[in-house]
């Protein structure tokens, strides 16, 4: 059989595994299998590419794969779930810089380029550079290495516009004469790094999940462009899948916040402002013993997890509490907001890690219609996604954002360290409503106390 045909058939098989794996990632029950299928597809693609192109010594390839495997295992084992958004941002950045290196290497290997090849190289380098530095700024904001507030200065939009015009001009000059355009290529590389920083620093930390999703899409587009540079069909397919899925996820998250992508990127939301109407009322604290008595008498309990649960690493204890409630004859549901946590699917992954049954996880649109019939709604570390100001206060920055209507439950118990604002920096009137009780303190310790009460 023709060698070229075997290679292309193998690429088609790898692409099939990518698509099947992506499909299985849509459900927590099959996500692990989907990840494995995609990994097998990528390994198959790498091996057949190395066999078909005798361009690098295999010992260096094996060394690289070995180091990558060690780093991947260490990252999976040692990095906590609370740091997963930062890890995703870093991985996006490395994907971007890899595409930049591919474009750069393709030019150095053959400066005599036609217009199409020169254009794909510029796209690969430009998007790769933006993704690299933009991802590390997102990492720094999430890690709180730098402030999560939008960093803005007078004339910033003018400066950004001039940077964009400059990179377009340098790109056009390079494409016109790639053989003599090395200095223009250097300009594009440098400006792409700068542009990545400039487009992310004005975005508030509360919007970083959307930014991470968008940068993930950028890394896919950069990989797709690198596929055109290398004339590799599989890399084009893989990059297109990542780019398209990233854009779809970004759109879903924007809809979940009732905001446009342009509003996320350019509005400076998430600056820590406590704007909104003045909140009246007084918070009503409750202790573990009294909370137990309320839960013990409940027939239905809805748990709404948030980033605070992740910080406290309370997911396993929460699952244990849910089991105790079910043994007591209570129906338990988990309500998941699309943007709860600091990355898409953050809460789903945490609860799956704790072996919470998939059938107990419900989306916001499924629980809101039945919330008035819920006896007790437990909010564990969530804030902005349960803020009733999104429905009631037209002055609130999040007005119009779909939220989980926990305030409509018969009783609301909020587990939180303090009455402070959430990641968006907005006060939550839920804490002061008549049917709300505040169980203040470490969420894990509070839930452990409740579990102990049930066992006793």
Q: Into which CATH architecture does domain 288-455 fall?
A: 3-Layer(aba) Sandwich (3.40)
Question: What is the separation of C-alpha 168 from the centre of its chain, rounded to a whole number of angstroms?
Answer: 30
Q: Which of 54, 177, 384, 393 is catalytic?
A: 384
CA dist 450 and 456 (Å) reads 10
CA dist 84 and 69 (Å) reads 18
pLDDT score for 194? 93
Residue 188: partners with Cβ closer than 8 Å, 6 or more residues away: 122, 125, 126, 129, 167, 170, 171, 174
pLDDT score for 372? 92
Instruction: Determine contact, residues 265/204, Cβ cutoff 8 Å.
Output: no
Q: pLDDT for 255-281, tens place per residue?
A: 777 777 777 776 554 444 445 556 666
What number of residues does the chain have?
456
pLDDT score for 79? 80
Write the CA distances from 436 to 100, 239, 282, 415, integer angstroms.
52, 47, 10, 11
366 among known catalytic residues = no
pLDDT score for 379? 94
pLDDT score for 368? 93
- Side by side, the strands of the sheet bearing 436-440 are 361-363, 331-336, 300-305, 376-380, 411-416, 436-440
**Residue 160 CB burial class (10 angstroms; 0-12, 13-18, ≥19):** middle
Instruction: Determine contact, residues 309/318, Cβ cutoff 8 Å.
Output: yes
Instruction: Determine contact, residues 397/264, Cβ cutoff 8 Å.
Output: no
DSSP state of 378: E
Domain boundaries, the chain: 3-266, 288-455
pLDDT score for 254? 82
Q: At what angle do helices 208-230 and 84-109 cross, to 10 degrees?
A: 20
Give which of 183, 175, 193, 49 is closest to 122, Cα–Cα. Answer: 175
Q: Is the pTM of this model over 0.85?
A: no
Q: How do the pLDDT tens digits run along the chain, 456 residues long?
A: 577 788 888 888 999 999 999 888 877 778 889 989 998 998 888 888 877 766 556 777 788 888 988 988 888 788 877 777 788 888 889 989 998 998 888 888 777 778 888 898 999 999 999 999 999 998 888 887 887 777 878 888 888 889 989 999 999 999 888 877 788 889 999 999 999 999 888 887 667 778 888 888 888 898 898 888 888 888 888 889 888 988 888 888 787 777 777 777 765 544 444 455 566 668 889 999 999 999 999 999 999 998 888 888 889 999 999 999 999 999 999 999 888 877 777 788 888 888 888 888 998 889 999 999 999 999 998 888 899 988 888 887 778 888 999 999 999 999 988 777 766 667 888 999 989 999 998 889 999 999 999 988
């Amino acid at each position: 059989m023709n060698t070229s045909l075997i290679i292309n058939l193998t690429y088609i098989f790898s692409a099939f595994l990518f698509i099947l794996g992506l499909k299985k990632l849509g459900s927590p029950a099959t996500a692990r299998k989907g990840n494995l299928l995609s990994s097998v597809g990528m390994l198959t693609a790498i091996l057949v590419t190395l066999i078909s192109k005798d361009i690098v010594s295999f010992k260096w390839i094996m060394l690289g794969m070995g180091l990558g495997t060690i780093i991947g295992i260490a990252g999976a084992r040692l990095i906590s779930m609370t740091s997963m958004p930062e890890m995703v941002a870093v991985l996006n950045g490395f994907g971007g810089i890899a595409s930049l290196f591919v474009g750069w290497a393709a030019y150095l290997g053959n400066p005599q380029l036609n217009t199409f090849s020169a254009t794909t190289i510029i796209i690969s380098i430009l998007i790769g550079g933006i993704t690299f530095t933009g991802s590390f700024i997102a990492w720094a904001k999430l890690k709180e290495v730098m402030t999560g507030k939008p960093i803005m200065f007078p004339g910033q939009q003018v400066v950004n516009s001039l940077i964009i015009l400059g990179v377009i001009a340098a790109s056009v000059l390079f494409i016109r004469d790639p053989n003599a355009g090395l200095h223009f290529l250097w300009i594009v590389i440098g400006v792409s790094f700068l542009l990545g920083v400039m487009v992310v620093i004005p975005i508030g930390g509360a919007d970083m999940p959307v930014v991470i999703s968008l940068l993930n899409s950028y890394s896919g587009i950069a990989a797709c462009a690198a596929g055109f540079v290398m004339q590799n069909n599989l890399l084009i397919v893989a990059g297109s899948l990542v780019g398209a899925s990233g854009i779809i996820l970004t759109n879903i998250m924007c809809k979940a916040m009732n905001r446009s992508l342009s509003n996320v990127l350019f509005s400076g939301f998430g600056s820590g402002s406590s704007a909104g109407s003045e909140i009246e009322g007084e918070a009503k604290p409750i202790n573990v013993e009294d909370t137990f008595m309320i839960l013990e008498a409940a027939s239905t309990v809805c748990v709404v997890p948030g980033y605070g649960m992740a910080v406290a690493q309370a997911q396993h204890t929460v699952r244990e509490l849910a089991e105790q409630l079910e043994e007591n004859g209570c129906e338990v549901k988990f309500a998941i907001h699309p943007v709860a946590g600091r990355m898409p699917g953050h809460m789903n992954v945490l609860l799956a890690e704790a072996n919470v049954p998939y059938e107990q996880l419900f989306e916001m649109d499924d629980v809101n219609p039945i919330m008035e019939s819920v006896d007790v709604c437990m909010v564990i570390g969530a804030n902005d996604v349960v803020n009733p100001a999104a429905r009631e206060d037209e002055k609130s920055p999040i007005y119009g954002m779909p939220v989980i209507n926990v305030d409509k439950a018969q009783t609301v118990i909020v587990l939180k360290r303090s009455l402070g604002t959430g990641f968006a920096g907005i006060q939550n009137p839920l804490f002061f409503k008549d049917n709300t009780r505040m169980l203040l303190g470490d969420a894990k310790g509070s839930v452990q106390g409740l579990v102990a009460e049930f066992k006793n």
